[in-house]
Structure 1
């Protein structure tokens, strides 16, 4: 593959192996520094840049750029590097607030985008030693074993992950988030707030959670997990009607319509 050619589907498995290698190497680094992170500066509202964000990113970029130099990058910290018709999205530490406090709920996400489509993805959860991989049209896997979404058939029996619905300076977004949370808790079996969307998406894909509701939309956060959920048999929709900020719903597909109606009927 030269700097001017596009990734072919036959090349994707080898590229995903490279992303696995990068995520595992970065994961080892993160485990060595868990609970020891230092804040570099505050980059956004309630969002700190940690030294380990940069350290993990350096490791991932080193592997990817050495093994696949013709593919560009869109990374949470480094921004845009190289060509943008085929590129990696990289979240070097998702759940950095958890990591900073020594919580094991954090992960690494890498997705491969070619011709505006996500064709492969990796999510690595270092403290679980779990690596989730997916290639478009070829299913979803956990440590090499095929996975699928849950078979829970009713919202009343569903365990639902709730993303960061109210972390905003905009009081309208906060109010909407609190209403959404109330709508969920009134109808589902249990809710969980993990604090790492890549972990939450992986949980939906392998059936540990039946649905996820989130406002997170950064491509480095969600592209790998979106493909993972779809390839595991799940469903994804976006609600924008009468909302200050879009709401993203992920589920096992079986409960999706009923789950979606909880938010449409408010």
Structure 2
């Protein structure tokens, strides 16, 4: 039997998908020179915020577009459309990402990738895809690994940030099987949980982008740290999520870029 919070999360994802299914992006609102939200992002966030405030009034809420309200120790964390640029151009890697955060750690995650017909959720200590159990890959050689790399920075100081990312990308390109850039952290981490990717590297750590995916990846057996190997926290700078068999090798490869 589902808990009240799990039922509320399912209803929130259902509502978000109904709004996404209308298919209209609407007007763009630019947050930096190359980063924007659409009218659909705002519509989903407003509707989900209202639903969860009604169903779980003691739990706070953080949304990417309108910020934090209510409790700051336990709160829902929503990215109404993770991969907005992809969504706006008809590219299929985008989705709705909803987490429940307790303290500095996601304890529940749900991701829907509607263009792929996929819905992920943590449940009873494990991770499910369309209600079927999933686990991370058993890859043990980094040379066989498919690694997804987070997007490049935009806005202020993007040149400095992207120089660091290019250094890490160069190091990975000579060490792993393949590198992919999917344009959606939710897709990255969900597909890591499903065993399609072997590692996800994101040189950013915005809670709405990653919290649900981290909960899913961990529930599916992934190891999640910061790029320097330190224990992961939502207040940290970055993240590396891997299948256990390639974690040490991935950290070793990336270590030279942190000096």
Does residue 1:28 correspond to 2:18, yes or no? yes
Does structure 2 retain, via aligned residues, the 8 Å contact 1:40–1:51?
yes
Equivalent residue number for residue 73 of structure 1: 61
Corresponding position: 1:146 with 2:133? yes
Q: What is the CA–CA distance in structure 2 between the aligned matches of 1:240 and 1:42, rounded to whole Å? A: 32
5 Å-filtered alignment, 1:217-256, equals 217-239=205-227, 246-256=237-247
In the alignment, the residues of structure 2 paired with residue 247 and residue 71 of structure 1 have an alpha-carbon distance, to the nearest angstrom, of 26
- Aligned-partner SS, 1:152: coil
Question: Which residue number in structure 2 is paired with residue 19 of structure 1?
Answer: 9
Question: 1:121: which partner in 2?
Answer: 109
Counterpart in 2 of 1:6? none
Give 1:39 deviation, angstroms: 3.5
SS at match of 2:22: helix
CA RMSD across the alignment: 2.0
Are positions 1:85 and 2:73 aligned together? yes
Deviation per CA, 1:97-121: give whole Å up to 9, x if none. Answer: 0011111110111111234442211
Structure 1 runs, 4 residues or longer, greater than 6 Å off = none
- In the superposition, the TM-score normalised over structure 1's length comes to 0.87
Cα distance change of structure 1 residues 115 and 239 upon mapping to structure 2, 3 Å threshold: closer
Equivalent residues, number: 250
> For each residue in 1:150-207, what CA deviation from the matched residue of structure 2 results, as whole angstroms up to 9, or x when unmatched?
0111110011111114445422221111111111111111111110000100000110
TM-score (norm: length of structure 2): 0.89
Which of 85, 106, 130 aligns to 1:97? It is: 85
In structure 1, stretches of 5+ residues that fail to align are: 1-9
Q: Which of 187, 192, 208 is 2:196 aligned to?
A: 208
SS in 2 for 1:149: coil
Matched, 1:192 2:183: no
- Aligned partner of 1:260 in structure 2 is 251
| Residues 128-143 of structure 1 mapped to structure 2, 5 A cutoff | 128-135=116-123, 138-143=125-130
SS of the aligned residue for 2:87 comes to helix
Q: CA separation in 2, counterparts of 1:234 and 1:116? A: 18
- Please tell me whether the aligned partners of residues 32 and 154 of structure 2 are also in contact (alpha carbons under 8 angstroms): no
Structure 1 residue 67: Cα displacement: 1.6
